[in-house]
Amino acid sequence: MSSTQTHAEILSEAIHALHGTWDAERALAALFGAGYRPADVATGKKRARQVLRELADAGVIVKVSARPVEYRRTDS
């Protein structure tokens, strides 16, 4: 059994611990802090946006702004 966390798990934990609003840049910083090293910033932001959408689909976060896209915890 692997103990490696998925990007969604890492980001979910960061969002619950740090609160506030989350965009691709903040999400990428959290993933980067957990060891994610994208090939470049654009690739990293694309992955961060994808994970944010996955968390929104799972009901962990909710979109609060469309432009710029920002999310927050559903329980805050």
For 15-31, the pLDDT digits (tens) are: 999 999 999 999 999 99
Distance CA 30, CA 21 (A): 13
Task: Locate 11 and state its tokens.
Answer: 């980001």
Q: Give the predicted TM-score (pTM) of the model.
A: 0.90
Query: pLDDT tens digit string along 43-76?
Result: 999 999 999 999 999 999 999 999 999 999 998 6
Q: Which residue has the tokens 């993933």?
A: 31
pLDDT for res 75: 83
